[in-house]
């Protein structure tokens, strides 16, 4: 098959246009890179969601345990002074547990942020590389 490429005839250093096979191969690579990037994002989302769900269930467990202890203390207390003392201890206990759980959740968020940033940077590099390849092949 003969093709006329005016630019190549006037400037022999210019590259001839892509063949259909080269164009399809380039599109296949770009689609594969896009799919892999989307899959990686889905994996990050799933891990983050699972971790945050575990933290939420842990917080629910804390609140449930506190409710049970509250009922036990209110039924076991002999006088108001004993009841108030046990309430202070219970409040201190719940405060410590909630602070620890909150720190864990913030840590999980920081880890997810790092994963998202790394994914984004890798995706941008891949996309830039693909578009550079398109630019080189189309010129």
User: How many separate domains does the chain show?
Assistant: 1
123 located within any domain: yes
Whose tokens are 């002999």? That residue is 78
14 located within any domain: no
Residue spans of alpha helices (H) in the chain: 6-10, 20-76, 80-138
66 located within any domain: yes
Whose tokens are 């889905």? That residue is 42
The answer to whether the beta carbons of residues 138 and 19 sit under 8 Å apart is no
57 located within any domain: yes
- Report d(CA 109, CA 125) in Å as an integer: 24
pLDDT value of residue 127: 84
16-33 confidence digits (pLDDT tens)? 557 888 888 888 888 888
105 located within any domain: yes
Range of the domain at 84: 38-133
46-62 confidence digits (pLDDT tens)? 999 999 999 999 999 99
67 located within any domain: yes
pLDDT value of residue 9: 47
pLDDT value of residue 88: 92
55 located within any domain: yes
């Amino acid at each position: 098959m003969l093709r006329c490429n005016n630019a190549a005839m006037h400037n022999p250093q210019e590259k001839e246009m892509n063949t259909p096979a080269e164009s399809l191969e380039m599109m296949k690579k770009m689609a594969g890179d896009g799919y892999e990037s989307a899959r990686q994002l889905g994996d990050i989302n799933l891990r983050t969601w699972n971790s945050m769900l575990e933290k939420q269930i842990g917080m629910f467990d804390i609140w449930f345990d506190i409710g049970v202890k509250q009922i036990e203390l209110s039924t076991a207390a002999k006088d108001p002074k004993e009841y108030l003392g046990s309430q202070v201890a219970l409040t201190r206990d719940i405060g410590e547990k909630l602070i620890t759980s909150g720190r864990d959740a913030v840590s999980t968020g920081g880890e997810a942020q790092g994963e998202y940033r790394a994914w984004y940077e890798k995706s941008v590099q891949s996309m830039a590389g693909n578009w550079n390849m398109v630019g080189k092949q189309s010129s």
